[in-house]
Amino acid sequence: MPPSTAQGELLSRGALAARSGCNIETIRYYEHIGILPAPPRSQGGHRLYGHDLIRRLTFVRRSRELGFTLEEIRQLLRLVDGGNYTCAQIETLALQHAHDICQKIADLKKLKCVLETMASHCTGGEVPECPIIDELFDPRTPLPSAKATRPPRRPLRAQSKAIVQRARRKKS
């Protein structure tokens, strides 16, 4: 049985899941894709998660809660793991993510309007004919494409410079 105290503690995958609020299958998936390194094993072959892996899982879970993609988290972890990062680099990534969120909000507002317009054509009756279903089947019904409304992405380095420049102008 792993010890259960302080920084030197070692947790089983189940205990880690319970402590972190992260599903066991999610932990297994993060290991499979390399977001979490494979933990050392006990003499009996059980995985044992130490303080560093617990912190890393917390970082990943909190990043996911903020809406970062796994690839963005992988990018952040590469910076952290290499120890060659600056606060400005992390700020750039965070501001880019905030910009992406704003774009998603705009896209969702457009989708909401389309759905409300479709629903306004519905009588809400008890008959099987429904204008919403008809419009969903009709390829001529214009729907906003989230991808079409989003400007093409610039390379990360160009994005970073532009975002940092905007942030500096705002601070001035």
Per residue in 138-163, pLDDT (tens digit) is 888 777 764 544 444 444 445 555 55
The C-alpha atoms of residue 101 and residue 104 are separated, in whole angstroms, by 5
Nearest-10 Cα torsion for 95, 98, 100, 106: -140
The C-alpha atoms of residue 87 and residue 93 are separated, in whole angstroms, by 10
Residue-wise pLDDT for 25-74, tens only, equals 999 999 999 999 999 998 999 999 998 999 999 999 999 999 999 999 99
Residue-wise pLDDT for 104-131, tens only, equals 999 999 989 888 888 888 877 777 778 8
The C-alpha atoms of residue 81 and residue 53 are separated, in whole angstroms, by 12
- The full DSSP string for 43-105 is TTS-B-B-HHHHHHHHHHHHHHHTT--HHHHHHHHHHHHHT---HHHHHHHHHHHHHHHHHHH
- The full DSSP string for 35-56 is SSPPPPB-TTS-B-B-HHHHHH
* pTM, to two decimals: 0.66
- Mean per-residue pLDDT, 79-104: 91
What is the fold of 13-82? Multidrug-efflux Transporter Regulator; Chain: A; Domain 2 (1.10.1660)
Residue 97 binned pLDDT confidence (cut-offs 50, 70, 90): very high
Find out whether 12 and 49 touch, Cβ atoms under 8 Å. Answer: yes
Where in the chain are the domains?
13-82, 87-171
Rounded to a whole number of angstroms, the distance between the first and last alpha carbons of the chain is 57
